[in-house]
Amino acid sequence: MNEIPQRLAEVRRRIRAAAQAAGRRADEVALLAVSKTKPAADIVAAYREGQRQFGENYLQDAMPKVDALADLAIEWHFIGRLQSNKAAEISRHFAWVHGIDQHKHAARLSDHRPMQAPPLQVCIQVNLSGEATKGGVQPAELPALAHVVAGLPRLRLRGLMTLPSPTTDLATQHAVFAQLRGLLEDLQHRGLELDTLSMGMSADMEAAIAEGSTMVRIGTDIFGARG
């Protein structure tokens, strides 16, 4: 039995409820369905329910699905760790990249973005206290990186992303997300036109939406646990 339609409806209901509780409109919060490790059939099941934005972490896992589903109007987001030798292929096949943390990677993505495609939409990943992985730029280095990334010709810097370590402590969840929002506001005051806070996953999306998330990245609660 395929439970994806019901799970997706429940995630959408939670987004609406969290937005309403925060005095925000539900359409201010985009839903990125994280389909890493899941088969193409699961993506099709969510697509049939109107889902269009899908996130993948591993290029080798993603490419067969990107190719198989090329006829669907899917917007693919790369949310995994970047490696220089993968940048060209990522830049050709994805619409968004969320994990920029080095000028070198951003420059390669820009260099390889096909001329007939629109600019690649990117977010800079920030390493806040308690970040689960080693990825992400330190807050002190963010303004300098943001300015060089914003200046790359084939990229469009949209905002910031963070990947906190899992915690059930609500105060900690809120504090980390509020910190990312503060960093975005600081960059906006420095003159960068940014509109995206990519933050919130299955276990902490309510706190993220309360703190201003404009894009939650949800895997488990749509597609089930990963094996």
What DSSP string runs through 136-204? SB-GGGHHHHHHHHHT-TTEEEEEEE--BPP---HHHHHHHHHHHHHHHHHHHHTT----EEE---TTT
Beta carbon nearer to ligand PLP, 6 or 188? 6
Paired residues of 120 in beta bridges: 155
| Residues in 79-138 that interact with ligand PLP by CB under 6 A | 79
Beta carbon nearer to ligand PLP, 109 or 163? 163
Taking Cα atoms as reference points, which of 39, 34, 91, 87 lies closest to residue 65? 39
Given 59, 201, 207, 208, the residue binding ligand PLP (CB under 6 A): 201
Given 202, 206, 207, 213, the residue binding ligand PLP (CB under 6 A): 202
Shortest distance, position 214 Cβ to ligand PLP, whole Å: 15
Beta carbon nearer to ligand PLP, 70 or 218? 218
- The radius of gyration of the chain from alpha carbons, rounded to an integer in Å, stands at 17
Question: Does 214 interact with ligand PLP (rule: CB under 6 A)?
Answer: no
Half-sphere CA count of 84, side-chain side, radius 13 A: 4
Q: Please give the single-letter amino acid code of residue 40.
A: A
Question: Does 218 interact with ligand PLP (rule: CB under 6 A)?
Answer: yes
Q: Which residue stretch of 20-28, 102-110, 152-160, 217-225 sits at the interface with ligand PLP (rule: CB under 6 A)?
A: 217-225
